[in-house]
Each structure stands twice: as C-alpha cells, then as structure tokens.
Amino acid sequence: MIKDFLVLTKFFLSFAVSLSALFAYIMAKGEIGTDMFLATFAVLLVAMGVSTLNQVQEYKEDALMERTKHRPLASGKWSPSTGIIIAAVLIISSLFMIYDLLGFIGVDLFLFSFIWYNAFYTPLKKKSALAVVPGAILGVIPPAVGWLTAGHSLGEPQFFALGLFYFVWQVPHFWLLVMLHYGDYKGAGYPTAMRLFGKLSLQRLTYFWLMLTIMTGYFMVTVFQPKSTVIIGLLILTGILGFISSLQLLNKDFDLSRARKVFWQINLAFLGTVILISIDEFLKVH
C-alpha cells in the first residue's frame, strides 16, 4: 500500500519539486530556518495532491502506456474516487499550511498551481504538443514560495533571474522525456513534439532550449554575483558540462535511447547551478 501511495502521489518527483522552494529560501536569505522546512513541506503536499489528481484525470491513458500501466489507478488496484479523496486531503492540508506561512498570497499561489496544472495543462496536453510551454509556468511556483517565505519580494531582480531559469529549464526537460518515451505517448494518443516537428527538428529545438537554459543560468549567476572563487569555478564547470552534453543532440544519428543519459546530465548540471548559488549565498551570511 505504501508503494502504491508513493506512486500515486509521484512522491519522489514531488519531493524533487519541493526542494526548489528550499533552495530559493536559502538564495534569498542566506540562512536556514524552520519556516523554510515548513514551506518545503507545504509545496511537497500540494505537488503530491495535484499529481494524484492528474492520475485520476489520466488513468485511462496511463493504462495504455508501458511505463504507467502499473500505477494503482491505471491497473485498477485503487479506484478513481480513492484518488480524489487522497488528492483533496493533500491539497486542502497544503492550503492550511501555506496560509499559516504566507496568508492569502500563498493560498493564491497554490490555487493557481492546482487550477493551472489540473484544469488547464492536463487537458491541453491531450490536444497540443506545445502544452509544455505554458505548463512550464508551474516550475516557477515552488521557488516563489521559498522566496516569499524568506521575507523577500517577487519583484526583486534576483527572483526574476531565478524564476526565468526554472521556467526555461522545464521545456528541454520535458522534450527529452518525449524522446525517451515517444512510443508510449503515441500509443496513448497524446500529440507529441516528436510527431509535430520530427526527430531531427526536435533534437535541434531541444538543443536550442538547452542553450537558452544555459544563458538564463549565466544571467542568474551574474545577478546573484557569487563571491567564492571555488563556487565560481564550479559554476563554470557545470555550464561547460551542460553545454557538452547538449551537443549530443546535434548528431543526426542520435539514438533516442541516449536521451535518458542526456536528461540526467543536463538536469544534474542545472540543479548543481542552483545548489552552488545557494551555498554561496549561505557563505556570504556566515
């Protein structure tokens, strides 16, 4: 049952998403506080809730895909009504938590996440291969929560740079998954960027978005102005590694099975950028 619950709520993905709130808090404040962990937990709850509701909405399509057909709703182990109850409990709990931390601003952010993901993005991705672009807005919400919890304003240039980085990052992240699971998406009837653009064009578009992500990462670094020479050196290294990994997509004979390797390489490089800036901001204060 625990394993099914973790799968239903996409716990590990939701946990990874929640960490962006934690890093944003440190980047804003340069400190670690109890409210940081509460904000991270609140983001974890809402991410688990909207992910659960997403599986309720898509359990029929999930049943058609090899990688998702064993999910509890898709396999029939749990009923959709059970999923709705779990999603409601998680989302409502997250709203109470975020209200206690940020008031109605936090509630509005969480409600926006719920509406945008479940009422807009989920139906849209069944109709358009480009749904990932407006859907990428969701990647900015967790760091916004962490930033606000640290007592800072979303109007600050540092948050603009951070939010832009997270927004742009979402697109190549998803397109690499499309390359990897193209057959599954096609079998379930989803319109995909692979079908819209073709293999080679999608590779080039993904490469373009990865270059854009590296550029926004550079912009973020210059705005935060790291002080540690060691951190600066490591940031340069992560940028170079991300660039080298991205170059694989320009190969006409690129094997789509290699998309998994590129996926992990670029995500680790971009995550490393955020972690390194967080460490530098922490060191500035201490």
Q: Is residue 47 part of a domain?
A: yes
Residues 177 and 70 in one domain: no
- CATH number where 83 lies: 1.10.357.140
Q: What domain range includes position 67? A: 1-138
- pLDDT band at residue 72 under the 50/70/90 scheme: very high
Mean pLDDT calculated for residue range 213-240: 96
Residue after which a domain boundary falls, among 109, 138, 167: 138
Q: Which two tokens stand for residue 222?
A: 């210059």
pLDDT band, very low/low/confident/very high, at 116 (cuts 50, 70, 90): very high
Are residue 111 and residue 172 in the same domain, yes or no?
A: no
Both 58 and 102 in one domain: the answer is yes
- Residues 181 and 241 grouped into a single domain: yes
pLDDT-above-90 percentage for the chain: 81
Q: 65-79, 85-99, 187-201: which range is least confident on average?
A: 187-201
The total of structural domains in the chain comes to: 2
**End of a domain among 87, 113, 138?**
138
> Mean of the pLDDT values across residues 256-265?
88
150 occurs within a structural domain? no
The answer to whether 242 touches 265, Cβ cutoff 8 Å, is: yes
Q: Which residue has the tokens 């996409």?
A: 10
| Residue 208 counted as domain residue | yes
Domain end (from 90, 109, 138): 138
Contacting residues for 16 by C-beta, under 8 A, at least 6 apart: none
Residue-wise pLDDT tens digits, 151-165: 999 999 999 999 999
Please check whether residue 146 lies inside any domain of the structure: no
Distances (CA, A) of 158 to 7, 109, 147, 161, 251: 35, 19, 10, 5, 36
Query: What was the pLDDT predicted at 66?
Result: 85
- Same domain, yes or no: 125 and 234: no
pLDDT class of 196 with cuts at 50, 70, 90: confident
Q: Are both 159 and 119 inside the same structural domain?
A: no
Same domain, 96 and 170: no
* CB atoms closer than 10 angstroms to residue 265: 17
- Which residue shows structure tokens 């971009």? 270
Q: What is the mean pLDDT of residues 70-87?
A: 94
DSSP annotation string for 80-135: HHHHHHHHHHHHHHHHHHHHHHHTHHHHHHHHHHHIIIIIIIHHHTTT-TTTHHHH
Q: How confident is the model at residue 143 (pLDDT cuts 50, 70, 90)?
A: very high
Q: Render pLDDT for 2-50 as a digit per residue (tens, 0 to 9).
A: 999 999 999 999 999 999 999 999 999 999 999 999 999 999 999 999 9
Residue 101 lies in a domain: yes
Query: Within a domain: residue 143?
Result: no
pLDDT score, position 65: 86
Residue 168 falls inside a structural domain: yes
Q: Does residue 159 sit in the same domain as residue 130?
A: no
Q: Are 90 and 179 within one domain? A: no
**Together in a domain, 159 and 90:** no
pTM for the model stands at 0.93
Confidence at residue 250, expressed as pLDDT on a 0 to 100 scale: 94
Does 228 lie in the same domain as 134?
A: no
Query: For residue 235, how many other CB atoms are within 10 A of its CB?
Result: 22
pLDDT at position 215 over 90? yes
Report pLDDT for 224: 97
Query: Which pLDDT value is given to residue 247?
Result: 95
Would you say residue 149 lies in a domain?
no
Whether residue 187 is predicted with pLDDT greater than 80 in this model: the reply is no
Stretch 51-61: mean pLDDT, rounded?
94
Would you state the pLDDT for residue 256?
81
Q: Rounded to the nearest 10 degrees, how much is the dihedral formed by the CA atoms of 92, 145, 102, 154?
A: -140
| 203 shares a domain with 99 | no
Question: pLDDT by residue (tens digit) across 37-53?
Answer: 999 999 999 999 999 99
Per-residue confidence (pLDDT) for residue 258, from 0 to 100: 85
Q: How confident is the model at residue 182 (pLDDT cuts 50, 70, 90)?
A: confident
